[in-house]
Amino acid sequence: MTAPPHSEFGTEDWKKLLRSIGEDPERQGLSETPSRVMRAWAHWTRGYRQDPATILKTFSDGGECYDELIVVRQIPVYSHCEHHLAPFFGHATIGYLPNGHIVGLSKLTRLVNCFAARLQVQERLTQQIAQSLLEHLQPKAVGVIIRCRHMCMESRGIAVAGEETVTSAMLGDLKTNAAQRAEFLALAE
């Protein structure tokens, strides 16, 4: 795992940033901002210090005979764009077809949080979640759909509010089996 991006950026650097935009980092409202920002970025980038393999503990009890899709919808996504450090947020839907063992449902949310708490692009985030599930859970199929709004588009540049970007990753049987893919997409709605 790579080191978190905030590890060498200290309070003096944040004060310098505040000065560069014309602010006085010593004024009352800003005097504690550099240390607050450091704590915030430590939280927002905690995913660099997490290992997806430890999140996805699997078990066979209850999964040994289950052969239908398992889908969790509306998993909150909150991340930061690696191009502008601007937030993007929305929801993920994850589905998988077990192959003899299952994972605790809360672990899917933890997996999303692990990868979202890194500097990201939505396309990579979608693939990382899907690939990690495929590698560690070894299901017959994996599907991930992420829908997000990006502040780098809404608050600057084109500055149009409310647009949603949708990305998907279909692996295993969901990539090749049209009926299973259609079922996943229907359940994901």
Instruction: Say yes or no: 96 and 123 in one domain.
Output: yes
pTM given for the model: 0.92
In a domain, 5, yes or no: no
Rounded mean pLDDT, 124-142: 97
Rounded mean pLDDT, 133-157: 95
In a domain, 4, yes or no: no
CATH number at residue 77: 3.30.1130.10
pLDDT at residue 7, rounded to an integer:
55
Please report the sign of the dihedral spanned by the C-alpha atoms of residue 42, residue 45, residue 48, residue 50. Answer: positive
Q: What is the mean pLDDT of the chain?
A: 93
84 is annotated as an active-site residue: yes
Instruction: Say yes or no: 142 and 107 in one domain.
Output: yes
Range of the domain at 124: 53-188
136 is annotated as an active-site residue: no
pLDDT exceeds 80 at position 1? no
Instruction: Read off the tokens for 41.
Output: 């970025």
Catalytic, out of 6, 80, 136, 150: 150
CA atoms within 13 Å, Cβ hemisphere of 173: 17
148 is annotated as an active-site residue: no
pLDDT exceeds 90 at position 157? no
How sure is the predictor about 59, in pLDDT bands with cuts at 50, 70 and 90? Answer: confident
pLDDT at residue 63, rounded to an integer:
78
Rounded mean pLDDT, 159-182: 95
CA–CA distance, 23 with 126 (Å, rounded to integer):
38
In a domain, 106, yes or no: yes
Rounded mean pLDDT, 98-120: 96
Euclidean distance between the first and the last CA atom of the chain, given in angstroms as a whole number: 34
Higher pLDDT, 88 or 62: 88
28 is annotated as an active-site residue: no
Residue 76 is inside which H or E element, if any? strand 70-81
Instruction: Say yes or no: 103 and 22 in one domain.
Output: no
CA distances from 64 to 17, 58, 179 (A): 55, 11, 23
Instruction: Say yes or no: 59 and 78 in one domain.
Output: yes
